[in-house]
Amino acid sequence: MIPSDVSDEFAVSMDEGLLVLTVGDTTVLSADVTRNGEPAPGIPLRFVSEEPTVAVVEGAGLIRGVSVGQTEVTATAVGLANAPVVSRPVRVLRAVAIEDVRPTVTESANNRTAKWGEVVEIVGVGLDPVGLNLVFVDRTPAPIHSFVPAPAEDESASDTLRIWIPAGVPEQSSVLVSRRGGSTASWAMDIVQEDILEPNDLDRVSLSVPAGGLDHRGLALEVRPWGSGQIDCWAAFSTGPDECWSDGYVVDWGSTGDITLVLSIPGGTFETAPVSVEIGDDFTSNENWLIQQSFSLCYDDSGALPFFAVTDHFFETSTDSLVIALADITPPLFLSTTLYGVESSVTPAPTGAPATTPYDLRIHRGYQTELPADPFEENDHCHLASPLSFPSSSTDLTFDHGRDLDWMSFVVPGTPVDPGAVNEVAETEPNGTFAQADTLVFGERGTGVISTPGDTDYYVFEASSGDQIDIEIRAEREGDSTLNSLLQLFFGGEQIALSDDFSITTFDSRITMRAPSTGTYRFSVQDVRGTGLSTHSYQVDLRLLDSESHTVTLQTSQLSSLPASDFRPFIQIWRDDRATDGNINLLIEDEAETTTVLTPGAYLILTYNKAGRPAEYRLDLSAAPIG
């Protein structure tokens, strides 16, 4: 035995939380001995149960449930008289047993039939989820809905454990419950191969949100073959039945207010399951937006000039849950979850055994996000952008959840250029030398194709000293072109300006500069890699900027205290031409800060945090006339 004047330097530690066993279950207790805070290996431990008729400890810590009841197990270090004794409470329950499994919605002759996403009640003993190791349906973990224990004083009473049936489990499945130590029980079930909210493929199902919210787990996008002319797609993309599968809902919460939707992909991410949210009386006559891991959609065909814009965003982290918090919204809200076949590994299957993408849907009253909403919400979509003062503003904003999108707007005063009224001049080959250059004048747009390797297209124009020249290529931003442009400006036979990519996320080029002298200027367009393809098409605008044009700077700064890796703000500037051609057009995008020259007209700003983290930040806008 270690002397008493030394043994008080030792201590014994053990998990002191409640240990739950069932009769016959076994597990191994563990404890550690330290001396003055450092590990002291080699000192044996003794475990003793106060009630060995309830639980008995054998050998070096193997504990076995003997009968229903409670006891305390103590651990002491052998030979350390002054070392403190530690104890752990142990509860022993009856062995796990399933007496019945009751579907809460589906009715059947054998009462053993349920659908995906249906809540079922497991009635039995030993079902306390605190001590359960497994709750499975077939081979899929089942989400736990709720638990009602049997009264402690009534050993003959039963527990009730509610679970959701997971989506995708096969028609012949078993509910399996297992407790740590080996006690298990199972119950055979017949599972209908669709979720509890079907049919909602071709007709929307109504969801009324009570005060406590809605919680649906185990829903599924079933991929099925459809008859001729049927399109199972509620989103704004009108793709055919072989490319798009949707579940449609009409969500109502009574009166105008805040609502929060949370969609989750169990065991996956939203990279394969876009979500479309539609506001108004269905997508054919009002505003819509679609939010997905890598892009957003703004769509509105309620006016004389419908518009449709896809906004790429570049979140650096994936997510299994998408939060859509909506402020001051008047119900009903039209919601669809949509799977696009071109972006998913899911393939069509017979109706009797459909391939699926599981998802969970929770709807809460109120604006429930990680940070409070800023005063400008709801501005998650382009047609509800919040206005900023021009030429100067400083606005405190919040990315209230990791996927929050903030749309703002401003107007550069003056007479806007009508993009539809621009005179287009098609290139005339050959135009590969200074002498062969195609002629443009300010206000015209050249169009061409870099069609062969090494192809270079030249253009010539006249400018006066002091003219503010603006040459902008639109190719990659138009979506169909594969051109990675290189733009060069020449005067007197010498290169005076060059542009490859005018922002970090586009291959398009732009040169804005003051003409140093009066005379003849030329510029060239080519692919920076020297390649040539029929898909290397482009448009090039030649503009003379006047004092109505402004140099505009947008800058973000963090108001939170996040590390730099968790605050990666991104800024996009869009020209808002919905009043003239029904479109919004991306001009420039950059991280944290961007500066560009803008002509008179309406503009949109999109900001988001690439790091996918909630954050408070400030957006500063400053502008000055170029003259």
Residue 180: CATH number of its domain: 2.60.40.10
Range with lowest mean pLDDT among 181-190, 275-284, 522-531: 275-284
Same domain, 235 and 361: yes
Instruction: Write down which residue in 93, 113, 140 finishes a domain.
Output: 93
Count of CB atoms situated within 10 Å of the CB of 518: 11
Q: Into how many domains does the chain fold?
A: 5
Question: Quick check: is 553 in a domain?
Answer: yes
pLDDT at 17: 84
* 404 and 325 share one domain: no
Q: What is the CATH number of the domain that holds 399?
A: 2.60.120.380
**Residue 141 and residue 28 share a domain:** no
Distance CA 449, CA 441 (A): 20
Same domain assignment for residues 469 and 361: no
Residue 344 lies inside a defined structural domain of this protein: yes
Boundary-marking domain end, from 338, 365, 392: 365
Q: What is the pLDDT of residue 73?
A: 94
- Residue 373, in any domain of the structure: no
Angle, alpha carbons 373-379-384 (nearest 5°): 150
CATH number at residue 23: 2.60.40.1080
Choose the final residue of a domain: 195, 229, 255: 195
What tokens were used for 163? 């679970």
Which residues, at least 6 apart from 109, have a Cβ–Cβ distance to it below 8 Å? none
What phi and psi values does residue 416 have, to the nearest 5 degrees?
-70, 150
pLDDT of residue 176: 93
Give the residue with greater pLDDT, 331 vs 337. 331
Identify whether residues 510 and 492 lie together within a single domain. Answer: yes
Decide if 370 is inside a domain: no
Residue 49, strand partner residues: 73
Give 395's strand partners: 619
Mean pLDDT on 520-546: 94
- Cα separation, 500 vs 459, in Å, equals 17
Q: Do residues 380 and 289 make contact, with C-beta atoms less than 8 angstroms apart?
A: yes
Task: Please check whether residues 409 and 556 belong to one and the same domain.
Answer: yes
Report how far residue 27's alpha carbon sits from residue 62's, in angstroms, rounded to the nearest whole number: 6
With tokens 């005179």, the residue in question is 423
pTM over 0.85: no
CATH of the domain at 216: 2.60.120
Residues 6+ apart with CB under 8 A from 314: 294, 505, 570, 610
Most confident of 13-17, 386-390, 415-419: 386-390
Give the pLDDT confidence score for residue 307 in this predicted structure.
62
pLDDT of 349 above 50? no
Q: Are residues 190 and 144 in the same domain?
A: yes
Q: Are residues 45 and 180 in the same domain?
A: no
For residue 16, what pLDDT is reported?
A: 84
* 10/34 same-domain check: yes
State whether 121 and 253 are in the same domain: no
Going 438 to 442 to 444 to 448, the CA torsion angle's sign is: positive
Of 333-337, 383-387, 492-496, the range with the lowest mean pLDDT is 333-337
565: helix, strand or coil: helix
pLDDT surpasses 60 at 611? yes
Most confident segment among 1-15, 152-166, 569-583: 152-166
**Strand 444-449 with 355-365, pairing:** unpaired
Name every residue whose Cβ is closer than 8 Å to that of residue 38 and which is 6 or more positions away in sequence: none
Examine residue 372 and state whether it is found in any structural domain, yes or no.
no
Alpha helix ranges (H) inside 109-190: none
Region 591-600: mean pLDDT is 89
Residues of the domain holding 274: 205-365
The tokens for 617 are 């930040």
Say whether pLDDT at 493 is over 70: yes
Asked if residue 391 and residue 360 are part of one domain, the reply reads no
If asked whether residues 600 and 459 sit together in one domain, one would say no
608 pLDDT more than 80: yes
User: What are the tens digits of pLDDT across the range 40-96?
Assistant: 887 888 899 999 999 999 878 899 989 888 999 998 888 777 777 889 999 887 778
| Higher pLDDT among residues 558 and 380, named by residue | 558
**What is the distance between the alpha carbons of residues 556 and 621, in angstroms, rounded to a whole number?**
9
In a domain? residue 345: yes
Q: Tell me which amino acid residue 2 is.
A: I
pLDDT tens per residue, range 502-518:
666 678 888 988 899 99
**317 lies in a domain?**
yes
Phi, psi at 384, each rounded to 5°: -125, 35
The pair of three-digit structure tokens given for residue 67, joined into one six-digit string: 């009968």
Mean pLDDT of the chain: 83
**What average pLDDT does this structure show over 566-584?**
83
Higher pLDDT, 415 or 465: 465
